[in-house]
Structure 1
Amino acid sequence: MTDPIAAAARATPDPLARRIRGLSDRAIAWLFVAPTIFLLLAINIFPLIWTVRLSFTNYRANRPNEEVEWVGLRNYIRILTDDGIWANMQTTAHFLFWTLFFQVLIGFTLAWLINRKFKGNDLLTTLIVLPMMLSPAVVGNFWTFLYQPQIGLVNYVVELVTGTPASSFSMLGPGGLAKWSIILVDTWMWTPFVMLICLAGLRSIPDYIYEAAEIDRASKWRQFWTITIPMVLPFLMLAVLFRGIENFKMFDMVVLLTGGGPGNETLLASIDLKREAFEKWRTGYSSAYAIILFVTVFGLASIYVKALNKVKER
């Protein structure tokens, strides 16, 4: 049987073979890594530098032939002194807090239950994970149907609980519960993700630790607080980091469900940025807005990662 490596070596032209033999291991490594680095520079670094440059101008993408004026820090000052933007940031913080709270609470509970091996465990895990496999477009349309005033299942549940006629209000309309409706959808979709991370943390705890605790006559409650929670905490924090970053920049689900309305009730910072950039075409202003959001996320994530590393070192 012919050795494929030897055959490839024989098929390589002599000039090219001599050049390859003359390269060091480091040069060959850079040769393989270079395309990826170039791609990252083209897709991530260059647009970031270009956005920073645009943030100091009054450039509008829908008027490319107009003269671009250098405005310095004016865009940043206008954004940081705009009460409407601060209100949008508060709405974003509200959305972040409650989605993370419910996803961590429910996700960890589901992981703890599934970790206790029982009949039908695998089937239940598969069913729970299904929502996160769906695209946001499918989830948005599905829940929009459930929220319809006339035929929506959610409104009838509210009617049973509160006595309010199901057709008299819309969960996504003015006077409804638009914020909580979106939090419910995001929790339904992404709790399985948190559950899987917590489940990985629970299954990484060696059994002998619990056996030693039982020998010391530690109660189940004490084992939970002194063994389970501390050892799963890094996984929980990692899940919060991933979901926090994703939810901070999320707009697709909110737009699909409410169009960014009603009013400013569900106007997240990411949706406001999208409106400034692609509806009002204030490209320079929206570039400054994007840089401020990027610095905010990057700064908070850096502080959080340091805290996560300290927890891991314990």
Structure 2
Amino acid sequence: MTDTPITRVAKATPEPVARRIRGLSDRAIAWIFVAPTLFLLLAVNIFPLIWTIRLSFTDFRVNRPNRDAEWVGLENYQRILSDSDIWNTMQATAHFLVWTIVLQVLIGFTLAYLINKKFKGNDLWTTIIVLPMMLSPAVVGNFWTFLYQPQIGLFNYAVGFLTGVDPASFSMIGDVHLAPWSIVIADTWMWTPFVMLICLAGLRSIPDSIYEAAECDRASKWRQFWTITVPMVLPFLMLAVLFRGIENFKMFDLVVQLTGGGPGSVTEVTSINLKREAFEKWRTGYSSAYAVILFVTVFGLASIYVKALNKVKQR
């Protein structure tokens, strides 16, 4: 028998242990290897979730650890759902979520469609387009903050040229109406390449024989696009929407870098509001209920969306 690492380990294993291992089924051996990972996942994910749900029914404050937490039942949930400020942050989050996804899908799919057409310098342009998503949100936030600054900001001059306003008299991140759009533009610039790569994978998974058969049937390019390209890339598009929707719903760092939730509360998304309740006002029980509501919202919407995605894949 060849002396390999496996055979050496087998020889070194005590005979009683070896007999026990030989007596185990494949499923039992699989569970032995999987069990540590499952235990780690339960400890890292499930236990904090259960603890958060428990705290959501109390008035616990983490800055007062010696104070006995009082059980308040559904009071925290009732206060959150009846708070107009919470609904305003939900509206700001929805505005940010919808517009970033729409722009990223439209621009990302267009770029993927163009890059999928082989041309000179294709690889170079792909690399250049992908660069923004390689940067950290902190770097992107500082970069776009510089572009939005009065007097020197490129976008200030562009908006000033279009509206006739002096660029030195305002800043996009300081204007009530333009501040939300400043976040949308920055996030779209950063994450459109991600959507582009997913769409590009979908486009390159379409067999050329399908287009050749369509050409034999004298189908126009426009007809091929709507009857072949779009239906076959749609699952990939929906997957990109799912990923970006979940990430943008919990957006925090880029918003803080650009506006910090201001001016006023026009860019105060749910993640910033949750952070203020938990770590500035120290309302731990209240913020736990808030986190549970956000979790249920995201989980519920994602579950419905995944079912729709599976139906599209089965067509």
TM-score, with length taken from structure 2: 0.97
Are 2:176 and 2:266, in contact at CA under 8 Å, matched by a contact in 1?
no
Deviates more, 1:170-179 or 1:105-114: 170-179
Structure 2 residue identity aligned to 1:276: E
For 1:264, the equivalent position in structure 2 comes to: 265
Equivalent positions of 1:1-314 (< 5 A) are 2-175=3-176, 177-314=178-315
| 2-structure distance, mates of 1:252, 1:94 | 17
1:239 Cα offset (Å)? 0.5
Task: Kindly report the root-mean-square deviation, in angstroms, between the aligned alpha carbons of the 2 structures.
Answer: 1.3
1:24 Cα offset (Å)? 2.2
Are 2:160 and 2:166, in contact at CA under 8 Å, matched by a contact in 1?
yes
Structure 2 residue identity aligned to 1:247: N
SS state at 2:52 partner: helix
1:305 Cα offset (Å)? 1.0
Structure 2 residue identity aligned to 1:259: G
Are 1:171 and 1:181, in contact at CA under 8 Å, matched by a contact in 2?
yes
Deviates more, 1:159-168 or 1:298-307: 159-168
1:176 Cα offset (Å)? 5.5
1:142 Cα offset (Å)? 1.2
1:219 Cα offset (Å)? 0.7
Deviations 1:174-210 (A, max 9, x none): 4461100000000000000100111011111111111
Structure 2: any 5+ residue segments left out of the alignment?
none
Deviations 1:130-165 (A, max 9, x none): 111111111111111111113222222223333322
Structure 1 residue identity aligned to 2:150: P
Structure 1 residue identity aligned to 2:172: M
| 2-structure distance, mates of 1:298, 1:207 | 38
Are 1:56 and 1:74, in contact at CA under 8 Å, matched by a contact in 2?
yes
1:87 Cα offset (Å)? 1.2
| 1-structure distance, mates of 2:74, 2:53 | 11
SS state at 2:261 partner: coil
Fraction of identical pairs, as percent = 79
Are 1:170 and 1:176, in contact at CA under 8 Å, matched by a contact in 2?
no
Deviates more, 1:154-163 or 1:217-226: 154-163
Are 1:57 and 1:70, in contact at CA under 8 Å, matched by a contact in 2?
yes
| 2-structure distance, mates of 1:71, 1:115 | 58
SS state at 1:281 partner: coil
| 2-structure distance, mates of 1:2, 1:257 | 62
| 2-structure distance, mates of 1:23, 1:312 | 39
1:308 Cα offset (Å)? 1.0
TM-score, with length taken from structure 1: 0.97
1:2 Cα offset (Å)? 3.2
SS state at 1:172 partner: helix
SS state at 2:174 partner: coil
Deviations 1:248-284 (A, max 9, x none): 0111110111111111110111111111111111000
Are 1:169 and 1:175, in contact at CA under 8 Å, matched by a contact in 2?
no
Structure 1 residue identity aligned to 2:280: E
| 2-structure distance, mates of 1:214, 1:159 | 49
| 2-structure distance, mates of 1:304, 1:3 | 50
Counting matched residue pairs gives: 314
| 1-structure distance, mates of 2:308, 2:26 | 38
